[in-house]
Chains A and B, each alone.
Chain A
């Protein structure tokens, strides 16, 4: 059974703290994604990685950074957490090869609900 695992389901942090959200996939996927989900705004892409140490900015990268030192792990970092970063964070992965085939399935983790107080 394919699996994307996020380290925490719920997290409460203080304003100004450095926050690490971890995501691990066991499918040997090249692509990994971090999204945030807010009511009425859908899934907004923060960062995307298509290979180890490679990354691309998504639509809302400000205030975030990422790290991909190993293929299976993709970390989202909030350098100095702010209350407007309170949200649901979703990690996903997919294979690169699928984009040219009939199946472009991305697999999601269960999400981390982050509250910044």
Chain B
């Protein structure tokens, strides 16, 4: 089977840096993705790590360590609009079935 663990809630202040961790257990591993979902909205893709290391996209970075079955999403220079839920996700098997974690609610305070 497969499972992903993330913290349920994180709070930070505007301008700060926050890290959202994700540990996973899967049979076969094809990469770790991150999605953002604002209240009332659809999840949208943020990033993907297929190899170990850091991937940077603007204020957001994502890291993967396959040996530790661990990854994180790093959000820098936090803005109020970053308040949302963040999900890590892994493909399960070679057909592309996508499994999500339970999500981390990020609250950014002024």
Contacts and interface: CB of A to CB of B under 8 A. Distances in A.
A42 B101 contact: yes
Interface residues of B, number: 25
Main secondary structure of the interface of A (DSSP, over half): mixed
Contacts of A96: 95-96
Given A99-B30, A99-B96, A102-B48, A90 B43 contact: yes
Contacts of A110: 41-42
A108 B43 contact: yes
B54 to A, nearest CB: 14
B74 to A, nearest CB: 19
Given A43-B103, A104-B33, A111 B42 contact: yes
Contact of B96 (A94, A107, A111): A94
B60 interface: no
A106 B33 CA distance: 10
Contacts of A109: 42
A103 B98 contact: no
Contacts, number: 79
Given A102-B48, A104-B33, A108-B44, A42 B95 contact: no
B48 A45 contact: no
A105 B48 contact: yes
Interface string B28-64: 0011010100000111110010100000000000000
Interface of B: 8, 30-31, 33, 35, 41-45, 48, 50, 87, 89, 91, 94-103
Interface of A: 30-31, 33, 35, 40-45, 48, 50, 56, 58-59, 90, 92, 94, 96, 98-111
